[in-house]
Structure formats: structure tokens, C-alpha cells
Amino acid sequence: MSTLMVSISGLRGEIGSTLTPEVVQKYTLAFAKYVKGGKVIVGRDSRVSGPFISDLVKGCLVAGGCEVIDIGIVPTPTVQLEIEHHRAAGGIAITASHNPIQWNGLKFMGSNSRFLNPEAAQTVYAMGDHHEMDLKSWQELGSVTMDDQAIKRHIEKVLNISYLDLKAIRQRHFKVVVDTVNGAGGRIIPELLKKLGCEVIAINQETSGRFAHTPEPLPENLSQLGDEIRKQKADLGFAVDPDVDRCAIVDNTGQPIGEEYTLVIATKLIFSKKMGRMVVNMSTSRASEDIAKYYNCMFVRSRVGEINVAEKMVEIDALIGGEGNGGVILPEVHLGRDAPVAVALTLQMLTEFGGTMQELRASLPHYEMGKQKVSVEGLDPDRILKEIAKKHSDLPQDHLDGVKIDFENSWVHLRKSNTEPIIRVISEAPNVEEAESLGKRFMDEIKSIR
């Protein structure tokens, strides 16, 4: 049986086993107390289990005196934007992000529209575990109202990004295939593309929560999208995960360009127009770093986890940031990964570049990455990482988050996952063979330690 994952990325568990009504209840009641019965935005992705989790969450918030604004099936970044719009005390996105259909979870956000930082999240979890709650009398119960305008506002916000030339994008009449994998993206990405003058072919658009394929937007899950691009002779394709914070791009030949390159393209666009600072996590490609250096812009790495990137961005007043998993953060819109933002920036870059998506990808710094994982179920991942670090103590290392070992033209980063009992092995090198053999070498080392 899987375990309930409790991390800075929120809670995630499987329906019918670890994500029980009791779990949802205790942490939501704790959150209601944490926000002192204030206004809370609630949104969910399209998962089949979403309605009952949403009912539980709203019920607990009302019991804790909160004024709930239910914005329905929406991307996670939309919940963040609505906290700002409604000046709410916090928000809860009901989603298990890219996890398969049997999963669901909760992501908690504060009044600053960002995810709770590690300390605040820890506080809420501890309150939940101790069944701390502040139940109100019948006169002081909260309320629930609906707001169905959230997606419309999100689209408007994206169309107002200062780096976009809407007229120029619309003149290109891009033909775009979009795969929203029956998640919340079906409500926003096709509509946004239409507003950008695109001819849109949407696949798996119905927000049924019955994912047509494994929902993580990795190359191996994008064959249907690639086939449709070739059939339609489209200019490009976009794939998003069920809660629409990650975006992967597929080129005009139907080939996924790699999720790392979503942020690389956005970075190139921003820094070609304005000097500034950038933050990415430790597992993100060197390609963005090369671009930042080319434009004399400051490049900083943070610990892995969206909130760690966002907090570092606030600290250094960054223009752009994100993660190599297709997560682009543009503070001008808000401080969270946002796939609609990534879509708009990509089309702007492609418009300015003038060539095809395949040519644009070829013009960018070239690295190949290997992303692998080893199960450490029942083992202590910290002990394993310590032993690896010791074994390679003669090489440059960074222990900000897990163990990163640098080689001249390559690097490997080993870290335990926040959401699953695994160690991720991320390696990067100038070509696929080198990246894979470097990753494999360290996978074997981990296996030999257990």
C-alpha cells in the first residue's frame, strides 16, 4: 500500500486507502484555524474523487467559520490568482497534480497567494496531527458561495503580460494541438489559444478526470499528441498536467522538445527584452543558466520545490524563475508555476523567432538530461545520500538539497522525493549517452548501498 505523502508540496494519498475522509478533515480543520476563520478560495482539478473531497473540505471550512469561495474545476495557479483577487486569507487546491487517477490531495496556500512555506506547512500539519481545531457555534458558522469567473480572469491576466505583442502573435494564426489529459486544463488552454488567434485542435479536453493516458507530461506520455500534430500538420503542441502548472511543448514534427525547454524558451524571451535575475531549482538544466549568462543576467539556484523557488525569487526580486519540469513562474502574473503563462510566452518567442518550433529548439543551448528514480521504500534515504557524498568527497559537491556532484561538462543530482518513497537521480551532459550512463552509474551505487 502506498503511504500518505505529507510535504511542502501538500498532502497526497490514494483514494480508498491513504487519503481518507479523516485525513482530509483533520488537516482542513487545522487550516481553518490557521487562517482564523477567514475567507478561503477552494478549487479542484477534474479527478473523479474531486467532488467528495471538495464537499468535505468546504464542510470543514464552514465548521471552522470560514467564508468559502468555491471556484469549481480550475488550474492550481487559478486558485492562487483568486486569493489575490478576493483578498482571501488562503486557498486550498484539491489535486494530486501529475499523479495517476487513484490519487488526490490538498495544496494549501496563504494570504500572499503562494503555497505555505515549509515552516507554515509544518505548523498546519502538526495542528492537524494534534486535532487542533476551532469549531464555531451555529451563529458563527462560515458560508459557501460560488464564483464561476475565475478562469476568465486568469485568461485576462495572461493576455495582459507586458512581454506579449498580441497583435503579432495573432497575425501568425498558429495551428496548435493541445492535450489537457481530461484535467482542468480543458477549461483554460484551448480558450486562451483561441484568444491568441490560434487554430486549436484540442484532444482529451473533456474535464472528466478519466485521464486518457498517464497524466504526467513526459515525452513517453505524449505520443497521441505527437501523432495528432503530424496528422494536422500543426505548428506545435502543448501538454499540461491535470492541475495545469506544468507545460510541455511538442514541435512541428510531433517530437517532444523536453520539458526542460519550456522554461528555457520563456527565459530567452524575458532576458532578450529586459535585464534581471532568475531562480531555478538545483535539478534544472544548465541551458537557462547559459542564456542568463549570455544576457549578463544573474542566475541563482534554490532548493527543489515550487515554494522554495518562489521564496528565493521574492528574496532577490527575480524577473523569472521556475523548474525544469515545465513549470514557469512569472512574478508579473503571480509567484507560482503557471502553464497558461508558459503557453503565452512560448507563442511570443516563436513569433519573434520566425522559424519553426523544431528550429527554435535547435537554436537553444543543447544539453540532454537523464531523470531516473530508485525506490527506497522502507529504507532511510538520508543515510544512502550521506554514504554517496562520502564516497565522492574528492569532487565538488553542493548539499543545499540532497547531493549534487559537479563534473566538468556534466552533473548529477540525487535527492529524496517530497511526495514518494524514492530517490531521484537527475543527470545532465552534452549528449544522451553520457547523461544516461552517468545516471546509471549513480543508480547502481544507490542500489549497492541498500
Residues catalogued as catalytic = 97
Stretch that binds Mg ion, among 8-16, 233-241, 313-321, 413-421 (CB under 5 A): 233-241
Contact region for Mg ion (CB under 5 A) — 121-129, 206-214, 245-253, 263-271?
Answer: 245-253
Alpha-carbon dihedral sign for residues 213, 214, 215, 218 = negative
Residue 245 sits in the site that holds Mg ion (CB under 5 A)? yes
Choice between 235 and 245, CB closer to Mg ion: 245
Between 245 and 311, whose beta carbon lies closer to Mg ion?
Answer: 245
In the complex, least distance from residue 74 CB atom to Mg ion, rounded to whole angstroms: 13
Candidate ranges 7-15, 26-34, 237-245, 399-407; the one touching Mg ion (CB under 5 A)? 237-245
Cα–Cα dist 336/359, whole Å = 29
Cβ nearer to Mg ion, comparing 243 with 338? 243
285 binds Mg ion (CB under 5 A): no
Closest to Mg ion by CB, 107 vs 286, is 107
Residue 241 sits in the site that holds Mg ion (CB under 5 A): yes
Residue 95 grid cell: 489535486
CB of 242: closest distance to Mg ion in angstroms? 7
Contacts of 391 (CB under 8 A, 6+ apart): 445
User: At its nearest, how many Å lie between Mg ion and the CB of residue 178?
Assistant: 16
- Torsions phi, psi of 101, nearest 5? -60, -30
- From the CB of 397, what's the least distance to Mg ion, in Å? 30
Binding span for Mg ion by CB under 5 A among 163-171, 234-242, 286-294, 310-318: 234-242
Size of the site for Mg ion (CB under 5 A): 4
Cβ neighbourhood burial of 380 (10 Å; 0-12, 13-18, 19+):
exposed
DSSP H/E element including 307: helix 306-316
User: Hey, what's the torsion of the CAs at 33, 36, 40, 44, to 10 degrees?
Assistant: -10
Contact between residue 426 and residue 371 where contact means Cβ atoms under 8 Å apart: yes
Q: What are phi and psi of 281, to 5 degrees?
A: -85, 175
Say which residues have a Cβ less than 8 Å from residue 369's Cβ, sequence separation at least 6: 258, 260, 285, 324, 426, 427, 428, 435
For Mg ion, the binding residue among 46, 49, 97, 351 (CB under 5 A) is: 97
Nearest to Mg ion of 97, 104 (CB atom): 97
Cα distances from 98 to residues 45, 47, 52, 165, 307, in angstroms, run 11, 11, 20, 31, 17
Which position's Cβ is nearest Mg ion?
97
Residue among 45, 243, 306, 401 that touches Mg ion (CB under 5 A): 243
Residues that bind Mg ion (CB under 5 A): 97, 241, 243, 245
